[in-house]
Amino acid sequence: MASVKRVAIYARVSTDNKGQDPENQLRQLRSWCERMGHEIAGEYVEHESGAKGVEQRKEYARLFADAARREIDMVLVWALDRFSRNGMAATVVDLQRLASYGVSFHSYTEEHLSTDNELVRNIPLATLASLAKLEREKISQRTKAGLERARAMGKRLGRPPLAAATRMALRTALDAGKSWHMVSIETGIAYTTVKKYARALGYQPRPRNVTGPPRNAQNRHG
């Protein structure tokens, strides 16, 4: 006989869909727990998009907090997309996180994705992990293809170069021996940009409050 498990029911409906009612999910999930002889440890009902992060899904965050405290043994959902819609890779990370707490996962309408069967619990995670890897590779390929297409069309990628007048103001300040922080303040150029161009031109970093001829200064013009 299967052992009694403390089940956390997670139901989510999007605020974008006014016609959804979480009770439609909850009724059947409660009935499943009753048939299986499991204890309902808590119900976590979310009215947010599944694509939002944990910080914007309070019930999702509370679910993981209770899982970390070992207060539940299983998470029960209507379907995987009710649990998360952050993409396969992020979903696998969350499922693996539950597994690290000793908490299994059961999808009411997708039993092949459930991990509560001890004999095959690693198979769904391994399958989902493989799909997540393929998803990441496809995203990477699409990104690279988009960049190549932009280059082929003559588009400049990245930040535009500094204007000639801005470069001159930058080098004048650097030649005066001012620190990169002071140069950034006086010229209005972002510190990261000052740092990048200063290094490229061979200037050495200086303490913030030091002025005077720069070390290894080179008399460059143009």
Is residue 72 within 8 A of residue 43, CB to CB? The reply is: no
Helix-helix angle 164-175:180-187, to 10 degrees: 140
Amino acid making up residue 69 = R
Q: Going by C-beta distance under 8 Å and a sequence separation of 6 or more, which residues neighbour residue 4?
A: 37, 38, 39
Q: Is the pLDDT at 154 greater than 60, yes or no?
A: yes
Say what the pTM is: 0.55
**pLDDT band (50, 70, 90) for residue 162:** confident
**Domain residue extents for the chain:** 6-134, 157-217
Is residue 76 within 8 A of residue 30, CB to CB? The reply is: no
Q: Which of 16-20, 23-27, 147-151, 155-159 has the lowest mean pLDDT?
A: 16-20
pLDDT tens per residue across span 109-152: 888 777 776 644 566 656 655 655 655 566 677 777 777 777 77
The residue among 220 and 28 whose pLDDT is bigger is 28
pLDDT of residue 21: 75
Q: Which CATH code of 3.40.50.1390, 3.40.190.10, 3.40.640.10, 3.30.300.30 fits the domain covering 6-134?
A: 3.40.50.1390
Phi and psi (nearest 5°) for 193?
Answer: -70, -40
Query: Both tokens of residue 82?
Result: 């009710």
- E strand residue ranges, the chain: 6-12, 39-46, 74-77, 104-107
Q: How far is CA 81 from CA 71, 109, 111, 117, 136, in A?
A: 24, 11, 14, 20, 18
